[in-house]
């Protein structure tokens, strides 16, 4: 009798959203005296992932080395392959040691560079110096 009272529920079917693979993206490499930070974004500027030599397990003075920057870039290459990014615009900022190593480790048969540009800021004569000291 109980089975007669129980109404059968209709099964609801939802269409799965198709995952669109992003073919192009931007990679920002920021190098300083202490660390190297790499961020991957889509063309709109939404962050897909980031890594740094500190996040890869390097501490202290080892963060500023080219090896730390290389490891951070290798982890970003893996992220690009999972997200489906095949072409990159590369923007490099700063004058740290990991600058060249990070660019070199981005070279991969799956990734192609569209542009590589240096967006480092530099002073255009700067502020007015202080007055000369009088004794």
Q: What is the CATH number of the domain that holds 33?
A: 3.30.420.80
Condensed to tens digits (0 to 9), the pLDDT of residues 82-128 reads 989 999 999 999 988 889 999 999 888 888 999 999 999 888 888 89
- Asked if residue 66 is part of any domain, the answer here is yes
- Asked if residue 101 is part of any domain, the answer here is yes
pLDDT surpasses 80 at 19: no
- Asked if residue 46 is part of any domain, the answer here is yes
pLDDT surpasses 80 at 12: no
| Domain around 35 | 23-118
Task: Please provide the DSSP assignment of 78-132 as one string.
Answer: HHHHHHT--EEEEEEE---THHHHHHHHT-BTTBEEEEEEE-----SS-SPPPPP
């Amino acid at each position: 009798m109980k089975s007669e009272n129980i109404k059968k529920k209709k099964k609801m079917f939802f269409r799965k959203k198709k995952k669109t693979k992003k073919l192009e993206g931007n990679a920002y490499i920021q190098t300083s005296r202490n660390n190297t930070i790499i961020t991957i974004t889509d063309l709109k500027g939404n962050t897909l992932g980031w890594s740094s030599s500190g996040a890869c397990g390097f501490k202290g003075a080892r963060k500023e080395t080219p090896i730390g920057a290389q490891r951070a870039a290798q982890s970003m290459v893996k992220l690009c392959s999972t997200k489906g990014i095949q072409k990159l615009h590369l923007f490099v900022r700063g004058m740290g040691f990991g600058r060249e190593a990070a660019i070199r480790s981005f070279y991969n048969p799956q990734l192609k560079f569209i542009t590589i540009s240096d967006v480092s800021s530099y002073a255009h004569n700067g502020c007015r110096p202080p007055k000369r000291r009088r004794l």
